[in-house]
Amino acid sequence: MHRDELLAGLDAKLEPARFTDYCPNGLQVEGRTEVRHVVSAVTASAATIEAAAERGADVLLVHHGYFWKGEPQVITGMKQRRIRRLLESGMNLVAYHLPLDAHPEVGNNASLARDLGLVADGTLRDDGVGLVGAPDEPLSAPGLASRIATALGREPLLVTAGEHPVRRVAWCSGGAQSLLPRAAELGADAYISGEISEQTTHEARELGVHYLAAGHHATERGGPRALGEWCARTFDLTHEFLDLDNPA
């Protein structure tokens, strides 16, 4: 199929125009026009690009691409090497950031809900980024941590905020620890995100909300995988998901 048909379908699915984002969403580096094979991944690192090229990818579909607000505009060093390899391979680099966090079907947080047995009934932000809801049964904080470890393949860092059970949960993938006060406002007993800052521990204890840092990469694998699978089903393309090791 033609690349532009795929891009139009992705934009219709994810509606990037609804978001004020930190990077461009959609096509970031142009490659060949005819596309058959999509490789999806969390981040367009050098290792990801090389692995995708080895697999004959026409499209590298990621959550973390390039050209972030505040980064140097010149293309030198690491960025130059990454982009040069993309151009040499003929791959298209396509990235969706906040739209892939927020999507209710193929988004990172929707995927986390399925993996963790959570049922969403609201959002943390007005643009749909972050969800709030309930587990399929009440859990202790260590019980929720155990469920996360089983689903994501890594132990979360757990900050307990008392002995209360978890009946309401908020979650937002990636580096969204700053939304902890909002989770508390919405009545969450526990809040799950990817990262933790020094102040997060104090906030969790003072707000009475258990905090679980489950890994930035680990909490954002689901969206790229689900979106790549959707592309394969919708456009009769082939798809592979690359999960290169990242302990962060």
Is 64 marked as binding a ligand?
yes
Is 4 marked as binding a ligand?
no
User: CA 50, 53, 55: angle at the middle one, nearest 5?
Assistant: 115
Structure tokens at 172: 């937002």
Classify strands 169-171 and 190-193 as parallel, antiparallel or unpaired.
parallel
Is 63 marked as binding a ligand?
yes
Q: Are 10 and 226 in contact (CB under 8 A)?
A: no
Residues 6+ apart with CB under 8 A from 15: 99
- Rounded to 10 degrees, the C-alpha dihedral 66/67/71/75 comes to 90
Which residue in 183, 190, 93 sits closest to 138, CA to CA?
190
The amino acid that residue 195 corresponds to is: E
Unique residue bearing structure tokens 């007993």: 189
Is 202 marked as binding a ligand?
no
Structure tokens at 136: 């399929």
Element (H, E) at 226: helix 222-235
Residue spans of alpha helices (H) in 28-107 = 46-54, 77-89, 98-102
HSE (side-chain half, CA atoms, 13 Å) at 90: 12
HSE (side-chain half, CA atoms, 13 Å) at 166: 29
Q: Residues at the annotated binding site for a divalent metal cation?
A: 63-64, 101, 216, 220
Q: Residues at the annotated binding site?
A: 63-64, 101, 216, 220
